């Protein structure tokens, strides 16, 4: 009997998947699903339009925890004012004092960016309310952006 030719081997993938999950864009209803109320679900908090996975701080942000009111939404104003008042749990920074804005930047950089992974951005950061592009958005100014990642 003649030997049959061997079937071609399946091609091997020659790329490495990214070390971290890619960041994504969250609408307000999508972000609201990550509010710490459901066991086993990640807990997300947005500050300055950047969405952080704060699940590792479950004792602070989980169901019934002291800062649970901040999660599942962009709570920029509340973080700046160190307030859990529902009226302050918004992205809106209109009328914040210079001291509150400085506090916001300090907490954003030294707490959230230092401790928690970035999982995405709020759609408001990139798109205007009518769905048109936010012309002030610059990818190179985003916290996760590193030009070396592009090469």
CATH number at residue 32: 3.10.120.10
One digit per residue, pLDDT tens: the chain, 151 residues? 566 666 666 666 565 555 666 678 899 999 999 999 999 999 999 999 999 999 999 999 999 999 999 999 999 999 999 999 999 999 999 999 999 999 999 999 999 999 999 999 998 877 777 878 777 777 666 665 554 443 3
Residue showing tokens 């070390």: 19
Residue 136 lies in a domain: yes
Dihedral angle computed from the Cα positions of residues 48, 31, 110 and 102, in that order, rounded to the nearest 10 degrees: 30
Residue 8 lies in a domain: no
**Residue 127 lies in domain:** 24-150
Residue 115 lies in a domain: yes
Q: Name every residue whose Cβ is closer than 8 Å to that of residue 107 and which is 6 or more positions away in sequence.
A: 47, 79, 80
User: H or E element: which one contains 44?
Assistant: strand 44-47
Please state the pTM of the whole predicted model.
Answer: 0.76
Residue 64 lies in a domain: yes
Q: State how many domains the chain has.
A: 1
Pairing state between β 44-47 and 50-53:
antiparallel
């Amino acid at each position: 009997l003649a030997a049959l030719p061997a079937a071609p081997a399946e091609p091997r993938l020659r790329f490495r998947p990214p070390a971290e999950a890619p960041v994504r864009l969250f609408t307000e209803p999508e972000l609201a699903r990550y509010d710490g109320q459901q066991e086993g679900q990640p807990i997300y908090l947005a500050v300055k339009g950047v969405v952080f996975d704060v699940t590792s701080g479950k004792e602070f942000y989980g169901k019934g925890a002291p800062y649970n009111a901040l999660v599942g939404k962009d709570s920029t104003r509340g973080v700046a004012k160190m307030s859990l008042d529902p009226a302050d749990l918004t992205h809106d920074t209109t009328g914040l004092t210079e001291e509150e804005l400085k506090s916001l930047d300090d907490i954003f950089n030294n707490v959230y960016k230092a401790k928690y992974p970035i999982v995405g951005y709020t759609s408001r950061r990139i798109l205007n309310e009518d769905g048109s592009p936010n012309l002030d958005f610059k990818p190179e100014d985003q916290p996760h952006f590193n030009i070396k990642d592009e090469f």
